[in-house]
Structure 1
Amino acid sequence: MSALESELSKAIGDEAEQACVPEHCYYCFDTLFCALTRKKPVSPKFPDGKYPLFVTWNTRSSRPGKPHRLRGCIGTFEPHPLREGLSEYALISAFRDSRFKKIEEWELENLECKVSLLTDFEDAENYLDWTVGVHGIHITFPHPSLIPIAPSPSSAPSPLSSGSSLPTRSVLKHTFSATYLPEVAEEQGWDKIEAIDSAIRKAGWNGRISEDLRRAIKVRRYQSSICAVSWEEYARWRTTNGGSK
């Protein structure tokens, strides 16, 4: 077990499970609002336990029933004290997600904030050893040119490993990695293979996705406690707690 995994197990195991609550999202909204307006923040009152976490910003659709659009999402698998981690990643996901422009003040009224506290990390036995709608996945895999080809290559899905030894090439030491939070596969309507293949692309591999590549993937599955609030909910909370608009 790595030092990070040991710390993660201790952080989760030594404390009672803490559900994600609206106050976590209000705190993220307050951090972003005050960063953009230079207003004085409201002091947080929730317990400051350590958790891996993700902060997601969505733009709400003006049309009823239409899905929200992702505006920024970044987090960490390293356990952080909640107050420090939420404030840090509220701004990182708002300003430094390379897929999007920085969030600006005029956008606040159309935003939704979603916080995910990550729990129950486990090493999956294979790339199919997880459940859509229950588990998030964090995948890692070597450069595909280093993956040995099975004696009888097959395109049929199989959880069996394609081999335990990889040839060594100093020029190709890059490891690909990506993650999807537990709700993503279900929201996208993906099955396990579609989610894995999408994660492979997200990790940066643009070549052919073979069954040997899928079998070489190491999957760490996890669960999460999630809460989301709208700008209107946050604005009411800030007023109730003495914050200026």
Structure 2
Amino acid sequence: MVVRSAADGPSPLFVTWSTVRPGKPSRLRGCIGTFDPRPLREGLAEYALTSAFRDHRFRKIEEWELETLECSVSLLTDFEDAASYLDWEIGVHGIHISFPHPSLIPASPSPSSAPSPLGSAPAVPTRSTLRHSFSATFLPEIAEEQGWDKLETVDSAIHKAGWSGRISEDLRRALTVRRYQSRVCSVGWEEYVQWRTENGGAM
């Protein structure tokens, strides 16, 4: 399966490694990418290695694991500013969130813990707030795979960004959210071996 040709130009992309075993759910083994458009050949070469060896959440992938791994490439498309943290669809959109340190977010006059589709204007960034910013992303398939609803996905993204404190509605409303879509190609070890041998490569 080919998702895009190199002639199509640069694209933001993520490379994901997963451990796949018969009868068991796949397990994330590494995932890193970039939102800066990169030529496909160059981006794949760089981020296949980066996600395999430099994802700080995991130890480096070792040779003995290769037969159990699946590699997926996500080409990111259709970036849009979301009107609020709920303005996206599970199974359709990935989300990229960013927010200042919660101590810098003004409290609303009537604090509420109930989710609201209405956004609030984020604080005007200054030299000091820029040193206390957080960001994270989830690819479009993540919420569906985890069985999360929108609120659970957003709160998980906030924690993924590095915030370990309480998540208030004021914090959610202060999020800057970009939604996006993706085209995904996944290849397992056996398919890779077949392709390589058919093209004269040694294993």
TM-score (norm 1): 0.78
Larger radius of gyration: 1
* Higher helix fraction (1 or 2): 1
> Per the alignment, in what secondary structure is the counterpart of residue 99 of structure 2?
strand
How far is 1:188 from its partner?
Answer: 0.4
Aligned with 2:174 (options 216, 219, 231) = 216
State the AA in 1 paired with 2:47.
Answer: Y
Q: Which runs of 5+ in 1 are unaligned?
A: 1-19, 25-45
State the AA in 2 paired with 1:145.
Answer: S
Q: In the alignment, does 2:38 pair up with 1:80? A: yes
> Per the alignment, in what secondary structure is the counterpart of residue 173 of structure 1?
helix
Larger mean CA deviation between 80-89 and 48-57 belongs to: 48-57
Task: Report the count of equivalent residues.
Answer: 202
Q: How does 1:74-113 map to 2 (within 5 A)?
A: 74-113=32-71
> Per the alignment, in what secondary structure is the counterpart of residue 130 of structure 1?
coil
Q: How does 1:74-153 map to 2 (within 5 A)?
A: 74-153=32-111
Superposed CA deviations along residues 174-231 of structure 1, whole A, max 9, x for unmatched, are 1100000000001001111000000000000000000000000010000000111110
* Higher strand fraction (1 or 2): 2
Q: In the alignment, does 2:158 pair up with 1:200? A: yes
Superposed CA deviations along residues 27-66 of structure 1, whole A, max 9, x for unmatched, are xxxxxxxxxxxxxxxxxxx4242110000011112x42x2
Contact 1:133/1:182 (CA < 8 Å) preserved in 2? yes
TM-score (norm 2): 0.94
How far is 1:169 from its partner?
Answer: 7.9
Partners of 1:94 and 1:136 lie apart in 2 by 22
Partners of 1:108 and 1:58 lie apart in 2 by 10
Partners of 2:192 and 2:112 lie apart in 1 by 52
Equivalent in the alignment of 1:47: 6
State the AA in 2 paired with 1:56.
Answer: T
* Gap change, CA 1:147 and 1:227, over 3 Å in 2: same
Partners of 2:75 and 2:139 lie apart in 1 by 10
Q: How does 1:175-190 map to 2 (within 5 A)?
A: 175-190=133-148
Contact 1:53/1:75 (CA < 8 Å) preserved in 2? yes
Contact 1:148/1:162 (CA < 8 Å) preserved in 2? no
